Amino acid sequence: MKLNAKFISSYDDYKKCPENSLPEYAFIGRSNVGKSSLINMLTGVKNLAMTSSKPGKTQLINMFNIEDSWILTDLPGYGFAKASQSSRIKWGRMVHDYLKNRANLTNVFLLVDSRHDPMKSDLEQVSWLASNGIPFSLVFTKADKQSVTQTNRNLAQWAKVLGEDWEELPKSFTTSSESGKGKEELLAYIHEINQQISK
């Protein structure tokens, strides 16, 4: 299924982002977590978000109109060691300003590489989102790169770590940009939220 997806523009400050009444969904994650590939898979538009084997490709707030019913926002990745410290600080501030102040931000999808145990930088993002009262879900990427058993083991580790602080775990999805795994579930979840908002 191919969605009607259009690139709106890129911005270096949330204040420059156009005012919009549509619900907005932000995608964030470590550099090279597969964010652009996931966005292309979800929309069915091959080069909607530019993919690269080089981490740190996304350096601006990139916004897309999806079906004239919601906005998808692609945010710069974190944990990109090869960028200068000043660049990393600038990106971090830009992203956090957007997440805290964007009025119609509806949900954040925090992308996590399913091949790894919980990383400090990912857990810090979870804590930051939670402490700022920002609704978010976890999206485990690259599930096709390993066995189902290994994926389940890593997800169980995440559940164990989060369970130390959370009574109820955040909503989560397991995805593969290669196979399309998780596409229907993610889009159904967005549609469900949009339906609740429009009531």
- Beta bridge mates, 173: 139
- Beta bridge mates, 109: 27, 137
Radius of gyration, CA atoms only, the chain:
16
Of 90-94, 145-149, 193-197, the one with minimum mean pLDDT is: 90-94
d(CA 6, CA 29): 22
Name which of 30, 188, 55, 45 is nearest 114 in CA terms.
30
The topology under which CATH files domain 5-198 is: Rossmann fold (3.40.50)
Q: What is the pLDDT of residue 56?
A: 47
What's at 34, amino acid-wise?
A: G
Q: What is the pLDDT of residue 94?
A: 84
Tokens describing residue 101: 């102040």
pLDDT at 53 over 80: no
